[in-house]
Amino acid sequence: MAGPLLRGSKLRTQFLNRLEELLEKEFTIEKLFPILDRLESEIAAEATLDRSKWGYAPNYRRGGGEAGAADYPAGIAQVKNFIEQRRAFLLREIKTLR
């Protein structure tokens, strides 16, 4: 995670402290998930119309696999999962880099 610029410097300490603070106070599940939930509800009707307009089959997804107009919530779930995993990874890394 840390390149030569941050290796053994005061900047590194400040960076790690700030990153940890942001992860603990701003980039939290409690703050981010409600935003995603709100956006999901706001685009529900438009997502269905978009899929209908462009002729996507109900189970179509670019790159293969099963997805469709009714499955855009699975995309939201994937973003939530990424947030959880990324936060956990960064918090672990911060501890190893101190």
Listed by start position, the domains of the chain span 10-97
Q: Which of 22-26, 46-50, 59-63 has the highest mean pLDDT?
A: 22-26
If pLDDT is split at 50, 70 and 90, which confidence band does 23 have? very high
Amino acid at 82: F
Contact predicate 55/68, CB 8 Å: no
pLDDT of residue 69: 47
For residue range 49-68, list pLDDT tens digits in order.
Answer: 877 777 665 555 555 554 44
Higher-confidence position of 25 and 5: 25
Cβ proximity of 59 and 67 under 8 Å: yes
